[in-house]
């Protein structure tokens, strides 16, 4: 089955810096890759997603890149703000199946 690895587990940056979180997946049939942000005590919120027919997607300060050959995808946050502090999860899914497989999460801390 699918396995998703996520790095780093913790990331500390200064406000205004960029942050990059990387994930690798094992199943080459996976074709959908969402990213979720989870604040303390709340449910995960979808922030951006990408499909395997696209190499990059951007939404304001957030971007995701996908390398299908290497089977890895990354989340890029530019001009970080303290409110970006949260745990971020990547995930992978094959459209033919219901299961969304999650990475272990990255705790991002943005210091003012």
Q: How many residues bind other proteins (CB under 8 A)?
A: 20
**In the complex, least distance from residue 79 CB atom to other proteins, rounded to whole angstroms:** 26
How far apart, in whole angstroms, are the C-alpha atoms of residue 54 and residue 93?
A: 15
Give the contact letters, 62-101, x = binds to other proteins (CB under 8 A), - = no: ---------------------------x---x-x--xxx-
- Could you tell me which of 52, 46, 26 has the C-alpha nearest to residue 90? 46
How far apart, in whole angstroms, are the C-alpha atoms of residue 36 and residue 51?
A: 15
Q: Provide φ and ψ at 84, rounded to 5°.
A: -80, -10
CB-nearer residue toward other proteins: 31 or 78: 31
List contacts with other proteins (CB under 8 A): 32, 34, 36, 41-46, 49, 89, 93, 95, 98-100, 102-105
């Amino acid at each position: 089955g699918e396995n998703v690895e996520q790095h780093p587990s913790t990331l500390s940056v200064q406000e205004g810096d960029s942050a990059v979180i990387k994930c690798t997946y094992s199943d080459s049939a996976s074709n959908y890759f969402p990213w979720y942000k989870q604040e303390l005590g709340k449910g995960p919120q979808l922030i951006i997603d990408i499909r395997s027919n696209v190499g990059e997607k951007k939404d304001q300060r957030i971007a995701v890149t996908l390398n299908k050959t290497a089977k890895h995808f990354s989340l890029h946050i530019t001009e970080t703000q303290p409110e970006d502090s949260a745990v971020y999860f990547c995930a992978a899914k094959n459209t033919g199946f219901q299961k969304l497989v999650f990475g272990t999460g990255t705790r991002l801390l943005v210091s003012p």
